[in-house]
Amino acid sequence: MSITNGYLTVAGLDVEVVYKDIKNMHISVYPPEGGVRVAAPHRTSKEAIRLAIVQRLSWIKRQREQLRSAARQTERKMVSGETHYVWGQRYLLDVSKSSGAYGVEIKGGTLWVVTPPETDARGRFGALDRWYRRELKAALPAILEKWQSILGVEADKFIVRRMKTKWGTCVSASRTIWLNPELAKKAPRCLEYIVVHELVHLRERGHGEKFVALMDKVLPDWRARRDELNDAPLGYEEWGEDRRT
């Protein structure tokens, strides 16, 4: 009988293990944070997988460092004509309007960022960043109402925080979940996946078989959503910083 899919922890790394009808084992490191995944032939023992990971540990670490340096969008200068994304949809930025107050709105295929006269790129970035955060917070209540009920758990606090290498994280001790405001740029199904993932951690702290089984039960397509999100780079951070809101 083949071993079920799951996770292993090797040298401090959480490694996803997927068993497939293949002849040879494959190790991959994927963006944005350098997650490690092993595709292994059926009946491969966990010991054999651990040994393979240890033998390629130096390569894995190099790949993770490269991804963390490279998995970013190209530089955004916050000028009209740039491409920006909102909930997975592409818009052209227009900063030609000025006003006494800051504002962001979408009209057709245009993302308007309206700022006071003489506002520089940093100021325009700040206005857009604050808007993304509001968008994310506005989307959360409906998702939480649905999934906290399904999972029978409740987080005590949600924090929107810009993170360099993570879409979200769960601090089980304080029942706090952090979400990256970059999620407001991705498809809504990606935000839902991250929220479910972190809520499940309130029941299962690690990524072991119980965690995977629960994810499979409540969100069967979670792997497709995860891959869709991980294929998308984190945003450019010239003006960004890790901070809580």
- Tell me what pLDDT residue 66 has: 73
- Tell me what pLDDT residue 62 has: 85
> Residue 197: pLDDT above 60?
yes
Residue 163 binned pLDDT confidence (cut-offs 50, 70, 90)? confident
Residue 219 binned pLDDT confidence (cut-offs 50, 70, 90)? very high
Residue 29 binned pLDDT confidence (cut-offs 50, 70, 90)? confident
Q: How many residues does the chain have?
A: 245
Asked: is 83-230 a CATH 3.30.2010.10 domain? The reply is yes
- Tell me what pLDDT residue 241 has: 46
> Residue 16: pLDDT above 60?
yes
Task: Please name which of 94, 18, 13, 17 lies closest in space to residue 61, comparing C-alpha atoms.
Answer: 13
Distance CA 194, CA 191 (A): 5
- Tell me what pLDDT residue 11 has: 86
Boundaries of every domain in the chain: 6-70, 83-230
> Does the bond joining 116 to the residue before it have cis omega, within 30 degrees of 0?
no
- Tell me what pLDDT residue 239 has: 46
The C-alpha angle with vertex 227 and arms to 30 and 239, in degrees rounded to 5, equals 70
> Does the bond joining 32 to the residue before it have cis omega, within 30 degrees of 0?
yes
- Tell me what pLDDT residue 81 has: 94
Mean pLDDT of 222-245: 64
> Residue 234: pLDDT above 80?
no
Mean pLDDT of 24-51: 87
